[in-house]
Every structure is written in C-alpha cells, then in structure tokens.
Amino acid sequence: MTSHRRPAGRVSVNIRCVSSPPAVDTSYKTNVPRNANMAKLQAGYLFPEIARRRAAHLLKYPDAKIISLGIGDTTEPIPNVITNAMAERAHALSTIDGYSGYGAEQGEKKLRAAIAATYYADLGIEDSDIFVSDGAKCDISRLQVLFGSNATIAVQDPSYPAYVDSSVIMGQTDLYQQDVQKYGNIEYMRCSPENGFFPDLSTVPRTDIIFFCSPNNPTGAAASREQLIKLVKFAKDNGSIIVYDSAYAMYISDDSPKSIFEIPGAKEVAIETASFSKYAGFTGVRLGWTVVPKELLFSDGHPVAKDFNRIVCTCFNGASNIAQAGGLACLSPEGLKAMHDVVGFYKENTEIIVDTFTSLGFNVYGAKNAPYVWVHFPGRNSWDVFAEILEKVNVVTTPGSGFGPGGEGFVRVSAFGHRDNIIEAARRLKQLYK
C-alpha cells in the first residue's frame, strides 16, 4: 500500500464549454478511487428510474391523474388478521414479558418452522434450511456477496434487474456492451414467445450460478414440471447452483411447481428465495425467506448453507420482529385464507388487463400464473411505448427492455392496483389503442 498525501482543497480546472469561462472546481476530493464496478452500472436501477420519469411527468402535468401499473407495488390493505398480530407484537414490546431484543439472525424458530411446514411439507426441507429475510431482493444481494466476484452467472433474458445489477456491483461482469445491451461475462438465456419463455439450454454455456425466476418477472411465465426437470438436470450436469426466485408462486393457477424443491434432486443444486410481499401486501413491511438446503455443497464439499449463515450473521441482523409476527399470522389458517383472497383479487385484475389488450388485438403473455401481463408491441422501442402510454393516457407501465435486451418490444403491465384504477386504466388503454 503506498501512502498518498495531498493537500486539502486542491484545485482542478475543468473547461466545461468553449463559450463559457473555465469553471474552477475547488471542491475537495478524497483520494479514494470509485469502485470500478459501480461505474459499470447503466443509468439508475430500473424502478427508481420509472419513479423519476413519473415524477417528471407530474411536474409537467400537475393535474394528471396517473395510474401506476408500473413497479409491481401492492395496493390492497393487509388483512386484519395479519396487522392485528403485528400491532399486538408492537404493544408486547412495551412489556417486560413481551419485550425481545436481537432475534436469531436466521429468523424466529416458530416462523422458520411455519414456513417449512406451509410451503415445503413433504419436500424434505427442514426448519433449519429456512433463512428469514427482509425481502427477496435483499437476499439476492447477500447471495451475491456469498458467491463473490469470481462467480459466473446466467440469467433469463428478460429478467428482474436485481440479479444482473448485483452481479455487476460484485464485479462478476465485464463492461456493458452498448451494441448488444448486455454486460460482458453474463449468460443471457433468451426467453421469448418462440421458446415458450423457457431457454434453449443446449445453447447455454456452463456458469456457476443460474438465476431463474418462476413465475417469471417480467414475462409472467411459469415453468412447467417438465421444464424444471430439464433445468435441474442441466444444473446437475454442469455442477451449477440455481437461485430459484419463487416470489410469485402463490399466483400459479395451473399445475406448474410452486417450488423448485418439488423436482427430485433439486436440493443438491438449488437455493430458493421467496417473499411475503406479493401475497400479503408486505412490500413495505419487508419479509421474505431463502431456502438453502444442507445438501447443497460447494466443489470442496463445504455446505453453502454454512457460508450463507455466516453472511446472514455478519451482514444482517434478522428481519424486524414485528414483521416476523406478521409472517407467522400469514401462515395461520385465517392468514392463508386471507392471502389467497388478496392473490385472487389481483388475479381478477390480471384478467381485466388481459381482456383489454386482447380485445385491442395485442398478443399478451404471462398473466395466467403471475400478476404480470407481458404485452407485445412488435418492432417498437419499449421506452417509446412506455412514454406514449404515460404521456397520452397517464398510465405507468414498465418498459420490457428495462429487464434486458430480450424484453425489447414488450411492456410489462402490473395487475397490482385498486379495481377502479384497473378498470379506468383499461378504459384509457382502449381509447389509446382502439
């Protein structure tokens, strides 16, 4: 390590524009180099970027009655059975007997047991395989920290941007290649109507990690049992680890598996990450979980769960105890019924959106097993379509290309919304594209 000493407030001169006087930048700069991986990231994270554009639109048209079918944010109240439990836990924290401080970093025993029993009964997943989190997105980053900068990854294209962005941040990738709109050293597994939104694995090179989201965000496609058997076999043949994002599993209407662990042998090659966000409206409450089976081993035989436990203990201190009380209530018989009702409500919204676009002659995908409708605008630029819908009828969607080059020409329409807003958005869209 060399010692750099520079005087404070050193002056650098930037000539910003030919016709202006040279600007003198007198601001102090540290000698700490910016993390080169951060510099590789393109623009903002997708959803804040959409929020920014929405805000800019509102600034231009302060009276615009915007309906947001963009960021996939839940809108319906959390069922009472769940919030009552959280309020009760909050009050209990004011009592000697009910107070609790640091919880187990992995989550409260009761909640881990309830998650295992509710979602993984008969799948051989034990309570100790469950790590409670403050949400799937946070755990995706913690998993990336676990894998480290030398890991190679594959993602579905299009896919939820947190996989790619966290990979860039961890230094697993090369620079962004503007011409192909991909980062170097990531395998983009194209998922399109042509392949039924399941990648042609025969063309996919081996990577250490395969991020796979089903039901998929953004395409709404759920992989079938047959497809997942192929995926697990592919991972096993290659010795890869699948990070299976099942955050929308409760939206599955057909017989697609709700967990990767329904596939025999998956415990030896897969991690599953999940969330209460889209089931119970917990997007703001923050609660999820990740399953790391003890059968999953690195090449040297070291259990992945052991290292993940160390990450959770060092970089995290557990989800909020009040949120965990909510999670436990979610998994009571009344809570499960209430969550099913919430999911059912959003699924009705999905049908309205599907009917709208179908009636206008668009090809739509997804929707059946997910709260997302993936609408095809062949030959058009996604951001142009996004801007058109926002500017002309004040409806926020998400441009497909924000999820990867494979999303170009598509727009994701989220079914999260009050019913009257969904109906009004449908009316406006019919007006726009009639």
Site residues (CB under 8 A) for a copy of itself, limited to 224-263: 235-241
368 phi and psi, to 5 degrees? -65, -40
Least distance (Å) between residue 88 CB and a copy of itself: 8
- Of residues 123 and 311, the one with the C-beta less far from a copy of itself: 311
Query: Contact at 8 Å (CB) between 251 and 395?
Result: no
Structure tokens at 104: 């187990």
**Nearest alpha-carbon partner for 401 in 393, 389, 409:** 409
Does 42 bind a copy of itself (CB under 8 A)? Our answer is no
Does 69 bind a copy of itself (CB under 8 A)? Our answer is no
HSE (side-chain half, CA atoms, 13 Å) at 207: 26
Window 3 to 32, contacts with a copy of itself (CB under 8 A): 3-8, 12, 25, 27-32
Binding characters for a copy of itself, 190-219, by CB under 8 A (x = yes):
---------------xxxxx----------
Window 263 to 282, contacts with a copy of itself (CB under 8 A): 265, 268-269, 281
Report d(CA 280, CA 373) in Å as an integer: 20
Window 172 to 191, contacts with a copy of itself (CB under 8 A): 185
Which range of residues in 44-52, 173-181, 194-202, 376-384 is near a copy of itself by CB under 8 A?
Answer: 44-52
Within 8 A by CB and 6+ apart from 260, the residues are 212, 228, 232, 242, 244, 246, 266, 270, 272
- Of residues 157 and 365, the one with the C-beta less far from a copy of itself: 157
Residue selected from 19, 20, 95, 203 as contacting a copy of itself according to rule CB under 8 A = 95
Which range of residues in 192-200, 322-330, 339-347, 389-397 is near a copy of itself by CB under 8 A?
Answer: 322-330
Least distance (Å) between residue 146 CB and a copy of itself: 6
How many chain residues touch a copy of itself (CB under 8 A)? Answer: 121
The number of angstroms, rounded, from the C-alpha of 30 to the middle of its chain's C-alpha atoms is 34
Report d(CA 43, CA 45) in Å as an integer: 7
Least distance (Å) between residue 134 CB and a copy of itself: 6
Structure tokens at 180: 């192909």
Compute the chain's Rg from CA coordinates: 23
Least distance (Å) between residue 362 CB and a copy of itself: 27
Does 152 bind a copy of itself (CB under 8 A)? Our answer is yes
Window 120 to 149, contacts with a copy of itself (CB under 8 A): 134-135, 137-138, 141, 145-149
Window 393 to 422, contacts with a copy of itself (CB under 8 A): 416, 418
- Of residues 222 and 291, the one with the C-beta less far from a copy of itself: 291
Query: Contact at 8 Å (CB) between 339 and 250?
Result: yes
Residue selected from 64, 66, 93, 336 as contacting a copy of itself according to rule CB under 8 A = 93
Which range of residues in 112-120, 150-158, 174-182, 188-196 is near a copy of itself by CB under 8 A?
Answer: 150-158
Does 94 bind a copy of itself (CB under 8 A)? Our answer is yes
Residue selected from 57, 64, 83, 423 as contacting a copy of itself according to rule CB under 8 A = 83
Does 332 bind a copy of itself (CB under 8 A)? Our answer is no
Report d(CA 17, CA 159) in Å as an integer: 40
How many C-beta atoms surround the C-beta of residue 336 within 10 A? 17
Reduced to 3 states (helix: H, G, I; strand: E, B; else coil), residue 398 is: strand
Within 8 A by CB and 6+ apart from 61, the residues are 394
What secondary structure does DSSP assign to 336-401, as a single string?
HHHHHHHHHHHHHHHHHHHHHHHHTT--EEE-SSSSEEEEE-TTS-HHHHHHHHHHHH-EE-EEGG
Report d(CA 385, CA 124) in Å as an integer: 46
**Nearest alpha-carbon partner for 79 in 337, 321, 275, 278:** 337
